[in-house]
Structure 1
Amino acid sequence: MQRAKRANELVAWVNRILNTNDVRTLDDLKSGVHLVQIIHSIDPDRFDLSRVDFRASNDYYFTRNLKLLQDVMEKLSIPNHFQLEGLMQGEKRNDLFGLVSYLKLHYPALKGRVNSKAALTYDPALQRKRAQEKRNAKHRPFRVAARSTAVTPAVSGVGA
């Protein structure tokens, strides 16, 4: 029962930090989207949030987001003692619970260590919106121009 209460506290913390209500359970974090944005809020100048696939819906895209998370955590010297597979399994494993617990505990110190204006004035909803717009603009499907249906007049015969 204590773990369930703690998990609910972690979910509430993520929603508060990211100014959202998208996260209902820890399982909602396994796509990596919210975790990457938490790290982005610590140091927004470190990487472009549009690299996140906000529509990630399967393990392939979860892995891409979580690899980005690993890379950025390494650049910020944040320990990442988790396995990607463990994070993708969500509440079935301790990795996700442990990572979010660590981030919640150390978030103020991590944010204070960077101490940039961008981090201090971070607006999570605005950052998400801009990142999604930028990503959508980069990944627009290529459209083939429609064929012309205009009828060309027939050429009349010689001597007509």
Structure 2
Amino acid sequence: MATNIGMMDSAYFVGRNEILAWINARLQLNLSRIEEAASGAVQCQMMDMTYPGVVPMHKVNFDAKTEYDFIQNYKVLQDVFNKLKIDKHIEVNRLVKGRTLDNLEFLQWLKRYCDSINGGIMNENYNPVERRSKGGKERFVRTQKSSKSLQTSNTHDHAIGDGLGINKVAGTKLGRQCPVSSGVNSSVEIQALTKEITNLKLSVDLLEKERDFYFGKLRDIEILCQSPELENIPIAVAVKKILYAADEKESLLTEAQEIIHQSMDGQAKLSKEGEEED
């Protein structure tokens, strides 16, 4: 259902406390600051509640920590807006900075929009926690289920043992007869696994720092190319063509080079014509 609403002035008078209460009540969250919604995940789920099944929740990252991850969430949200033909431009560059005012204004607009659909009536069949599990929490959910299954299995085995009338004293003696080496082996394995986990965490930290380092450079280049005085400069156009490419194309670099070459040829031609006139 294509919907296009204008932002009512009254929507801007909705305070941050009301916005936070609205988010927490509907999505079963516990946000205390507007900035906590800067990742875009909350906005994606609000649209998912308003239009069940429209948002690809498996693409929404609720654990987003960097601007790069935030931008990916807002891309999902913008795709949903385009799909629903909602004429609303998302100021991603401002929102990902986590500034309170920018995020509050966008959430005010979002609340006004969601309240305009079905009279703002909450979808009672919507399970926000379950839907969030499809946005990056599967591992946590599966771990919980595995833990419960293991606990149930242990309880079941214990009940069977008692039903067979196993002598608890004999069981205790049997436990004392277990080789000490098994405990030693377990301790060694735990130490090895702990060391491996530590090394993996260090590797992940280094990779994240490297990713953020190069992403920061790309953002600086993008901002520079968006400067009004450079907007139509061929080199800026070529760089933006590479930055904004959605798919990997082998010919992309060639196309960017052609833009620059055509500009250089044009300048050379104009220069030659000017010399001939002189």
Distance across 1 between alignment mates of 2:15 and 2:96: 20
Find the residue that maps to 2:25 and give its secondary structure: helix
**1:51–1:135: 8 Å Cα contact kept in structure 2?**
no
2:18 paired with 1:9:
yes
In the alignment, what sits opposite 1:19? 28
| Structure 2 residue 43 is the aligned partner of structure 1 residue 35 | yes
Residue 75 (structure 1) shift: 1.5
Once the two structures are TM-superposed, the CA of residue 93 in structure 1 deviates from its matched residue by 4.3
SS at match of 1:11: helix
CA distance in 2, matches of 1:76, 1:30: 22
CA contact (8 A) 2:67 2:97 kept: no
Report which structure shows greater RCO (CA 8 Å, sep ≥6).
1
2-structure distance, mates of 1:36, 1:84 = 14
Is 1:86–1:93's contact at 8 Å kept on the other side of the alignment?
A: no
Query: How far 1:5 moved relative to its partner?
Result: 7.8
- Which of the pair is proportionally richer in helix? 2
Matches within 5 A, 1:131-142: 131-134=135-138
How far 1:25 sits from its partner (Å)?
A: 1.0
Counterpart contact for 1:11–1:24, Cα < 8 Å: yes
1:90 aligns with 2:86: no
- TM-score, normalising length: structure 1: 0.68
Cα deviations by residue, 1:103-151 (Å, 9 ceiling, x for unpaired): 21221333x29x9xxx551111121124435588xxxxxxxxxxxxxxx
Unaligned runs of 5+ in 2: 1-11, 141-278
Distance, in Å, in 2 between the alignment partners of 1:90 and 1:78 is 24
**Aligned residue among 127, 131, 144 for 2:131:** 127
Which of 86, 95, 106 aligns to 1:99? It is 106
What is the TM-score normalised by the length of structure 2?
Answer: 0.41
- State the alpha-carbon separation in 2 of the partners of residues 71 and 135 from structure 1: 26
RMSD: 2.8
1:85-107 deviations in Å (ceiling 9; x for gaps): 1111233543x222211121221
User: Structure 1 residues 98 and 81, CA, compared in 2 at 3 Å: closer, same or farther?
Assistant: farther
Distance in structure 1 (CA, Å) of the matches to 2:81 and 2:139: 22
Tell me how far apart the structure 2 counterparts of residues 48 and 93 of structure 1 sit (CA, whole Å): 28
2:52 and 2:139 mapped to 1: Cα distance? 16
1:44 matched to 2:52? The reply is yes
User: In structure 1, what residue type is equivalent to 2:65?
Assistant: S
Q: Percent identity?
A: 27
Structure-to-structure mapping, 1:107-122, within 5 angstroms: 107-110=114-117, 112=118, 121-122=125-126
Q: Measure the CA separation in 2 of the matches of 1:92 and 1:103.
A: 15
Q: Match of 1:90, SS?
A: coil
Equivalent pairs, count: 128
Amino acid in the other structure paired with 1:106: Y
Gapped regions of structure 1 (runs ≥ 5):
137-160
Q: Does the aligned pair in 2 maintain the 1:10–1:100 contact within 8 Å?
A: yes
